[in-house]
Chain A
Amino acid sequence: MSHNNSSKNSIAEGFNILIKYRYLIWVLSLKELKTQYRGSYLGFFWSLVNPLLLLIIYTFLFVVVFHNTAKAYPVYLFCGILPYTWFQNSIIISTSSISNAGSLVSKSLIPPEVIVMSKIGSNLLNYLLSIPILILFIYIFKLRIGLPVIYFPLIIAITFLLTAGISLFFAALNVFYRDIQFIILNLTTFIYFSMPIMYFDKQLPIKLRHIIYLDPIAYVMKCFQDIFYYNIFPRYYYVAGALVVSVIVFMLGYSYFALRKELFSEFI
């Protein structure tokens, strides 16, 4: 075992770490989920309260105030809010995860990737656990879930890659520049409002619409809406576009992380 050979193929090494430490990642993700609400009376239910409150506010705003006539608007909203919450929380929590990890980075032999992955994993679990609520809403508003749902695992995988790439990049950067964690909060909120999650595509001016779809997460949100709201197969160019961009983002983000990770223990 020699430590000072630079990792030539960092992506392959990254996947090896993911496979080798999959059980630890799973256990740490569960730990996050368990400790998040332990001691509170409602427990995991709090994970559902936040999106439900948002839902009420936006429904009031868009249906009552702006007279939006779209059918089953709350379902549309939920399709986007839930995965975006996964995406946003993962990035926010991951960004400070390495700089706050303490002895987990400076005094243990586990690769730091594991820490970031467990943050994304716990937020993914949160998301998956909220799917029953979404399905409940779909049936309350007399929509249907059809065959397009077979795309769901693929879209999850794409979102995971995208989230992981961005999270790893910012987690590494935040070790050296602690300002990042404060920027991220504003950035993810901005991205949230810039995308058709609470409003519809057609409400955007046509010129702006092209700009919005430069954003890879907008494609992903589109796919989630296609599957659960429109009940149609996600358009293949959205899926393909999102896949290609996610793979690139993951490779870039992880390459930076791998390049910097040997310095983490000195700077935290």
Chain B
Amino acid sequence: MHSYDSEYAIETENISKVFRRLSSHTTLKKAFIDLITFNKNKQVKMLKFTALENVSFKVKKGETFGIIGPNGAGKSTLLKILCGIMKPTTGRIAVNGSLSALLELGTGFHPELTGRENILINGLILGLSKKEIMAKYDEIIEFSGVKDFIDEPIKTYSSGMQIRLSFSVAVNVNPDVLVLDEVLAVGDAEFQAKSRKRIEEFINGGRTVLLVSHDKKSILDYCSEAMLLYKGNVVATGQTRDVVEKYEEIEQVNFNG
């Protein structure tokens, strides 16, 4: 399916995304009034919002690429488009190889099911095969540190335990390209150290990683190259240090103005 040069894991060209929504409080009554009156000032309006504008970038194979930007910059929208969850309004995307995404921890978790049952469901949703999950059950349970409660419904878990369990499943995904959305810092200090080590294994394992964050430190720590998104536009691309500096400039301007 991919006729692209194999040097790049991800290539995007001029991605734009415009959201269209009816104005809130749209009712049938207002729509009806609009229909029968010739008033130019319609009550039901189509609102447009440009979340991304002409975003182009390339990620080399094996690279850890960071996307940074303040809240509302369009980071999550871009990720969803890259994963194929959302369709861009215009533009092209090519991903070379298999792709997994950790956009959220514990997708598909059900409070009434046991830890063990939830590991299976969550793992399958993340794209692991039945075989892989079966082979790694013990490791996942061990890593999560909730071994004693693994056959209890997870509604009895503390929220910290639930997050640790979901993280332990998530770190087992094994794609060519991994998309990570600010799921790095979870759990207490001890668990964070453990998970940090695991993420470094990920990154050093020759895999392409796309890391999205508004946290400058994790981008600086892990990424060789980065891109700064601001109000849907690419403001800077290149060496992580330069991009982060640019981000700090924008923050300063916003803070003072």
Task: Write the residues of chain A forming the contact surface with B, with a CB cutoff of 8 angstroms.
Answer: 1-4, 23-24, 27-28, 31, 34-35, 38-39, 103-110, 262-263, 265-266
Q: Whole-angstrom distance from the CB of B166 to the nearest CB of chain A?
A: 12
Among B37-45, B94-102, B200-208, B247-255, the one that faces the other chain is: B94-102
Going nearest first, the 9 A-B pairs with the smallest beta carbon separation are A3-B84, A107-B103, A262-B87, A107-B104, A24-B124, A38-B112, A1-B95, A35-B112, A108-B107
Decide: B113 and A31 in contact? CB cutoff 8 A.
yes
Query: Which residue among B2, B98, B125 has the maximum number of chain A CB atoms within 10 Å of its CB?
Result: B125
CB pair A106–B108 under 8 Å, yes or no, is no
Contact with A along B114-126 (1 / 0, CB 8 A): 0001001100111
Which of A4, A27, A39, A107 contacts B121 (CB under 8 A)?
A27
Known: A1-B1, A23-B124, A35-B110. Contact between A109 and B85, CB under 8 A? yes
Assess whether B88 is interfacial by the CB under 8 Å rule.
Answer: yes
The docked-state distance in angstroms from the alpha carbon of A251 to that of B163 is 41
Q: Is the CB of A4 within 8 A of B93?
A: yes
B127 within 8 A of A: yes
User: A241 vs B183: C-alpha distance in the bound complex, in angstroms?
Assistant: 53
Cβ–Cβ contact B85 & A1, under 8 A: no
The one of B83, B84, B113, B127 in contact with A35, judged by C-beta atoms closer than 8 angstroms, is B113
- CA separation between A35 and B110, bound complex, in Å? 8
| A103 CA / B183 CA spacing, docked (Å) | 15
User: Is A3 a contact partner of B124 (Cβ separation < 8 A)?
Assistant: no
Asked whether B197 is an interface residue with its Cβ less than 8 Å from the other chain, the reply is no
Tally A-B pairs: CB < 8 A: 84
A2 with B2: CB separation less than 8 A = yes
Q: How far is the CA of A266 from the CA of B120 in the complex (A)?
A: 28
**A24:B125 contact, CB within 8 angstroms:** yes
Q: Are B94 and A2 in contact (CB under 8 A)?
A: yes
Q: Assess whether B19 is interfacial by the CB under 8 Å rule.
A: yes
Asked if A108 contacts B103 (CB within 8 A), the reply is yes
B residues with a Cβ closer than 8 A to A are 1-2, 19, 80-81, 83-88, 92-101, 103-104, 107-108, 110, 112-113, 117, 120-121, 124-127, 130, 153
Looking at the assembled complex, report how far the CB atom of B102 sits from the nearest CB atom of chain A, in whole angstroms: 9
Residue pair B85, A31 in contact (C-beta under 8 Å):
no
* A1-B94, A31-B121, A103-B107 known; A266 vs B112 contact (CB < 8 Å): no
Residue from A34, A39, A107 in contact with B85 in the complex, judged by beta carbons closer than 8 Å: A107
Q: In the assembly, what is the distance between CA of A262 and CA of B93, in Å? A: 15
**Are B104 and A109 within 8 A (Cβ)?**
no
Specify which chain A residues have a CB less than 8 angstroms from the CB of B1 in the assembled complex. 1-2
Report the separation of the CA atoms of residues A249 and B206 in the bound assembly, to the nearest whole angstrom: 48
Report the Cα distance A35→B112, complex, angstroms: 6
Q: How far is the CB of B148 from chain A (nearest CB, A)?
A: 21
Which of A1, A23, A24, A38 is packed against the most chain B CB atoms within 10 Å?
A1
Which residues from chain B contact A106 at a C-beta distance below 8 Å?
80, 85
Residues from chain A with a CB closer than 8 A to the CB of B85 are 105-109, 265
Complex formed: what's the CA distance from A55 to B167 in Å? 49
Contacts of B117 in A (CB 8 A): 31, 34
CA distance A106 to B61 in the complex (A): 27
> In the complex, what residue of chain B is closest to A108 when comparing beta carbons?
B107
Asked if A109 and B92 make an inter-chain contact with CB atoms under 8 angstroms apart, the answer reads no
Contact A39 B87 (CB under 8 A): no
Tell me, rounded to whole Å, the shortest Cβ–Cβ distance linking A19 to chain B. 14
Q: Are B120 and A109 in contact (CB under 8 A)?
A: no
| Known A1-B97, A34-B113, A107-B104; further 18 A-B contacts with Cβ < 8 A | A1-B2, A1-B94, A1-B96, A2-B2, A3-B93, A4-B87, A28-B121, A31-B110, A35-B110, A35-B112, A103-B103, A103-B104, A107-B107, A108-B103, A108-B108, A108-B125, A108-B126, A109-B85
The answer for the CA separation of A266 and B100 in the assembled complex, in Å, is 20
**Which residues in B have their C-beta under 8 angstroms from that of A39?**
112
Nearest CB to that of B94 among chain A residues? A2
Q: Which chain B residue lies CB-closest to A28?
A: B121
Give, as a whole number of angstroms, the nearest-CB distance from A251 to chain B: 23
Q: How far is the CB of A205 from chain B (nearest CB, A)?
A: 38
Among candidates A28, A34, A262, residue contacting B86 with C-beta atoms closer than 8 Å: A262
What are 29 of the A-B contact pairs (CB < 8 Å)? A1-B1, A1-B94, A1-B95, A1-B98, A2-B92, A2-B94, A3-B87, A3-B93, A3-B95, A23-B130, A31-B113, A31-B117, A35-B110, A35-B113, A38-B153, A103-B104, A103-B107, A104-B107, A104-B125, A107-B80, A108-B104, A108-B125, A108-B126, A109-B127, A262-B87, A265-B80, A265-B85, A266-B19, A266-B86
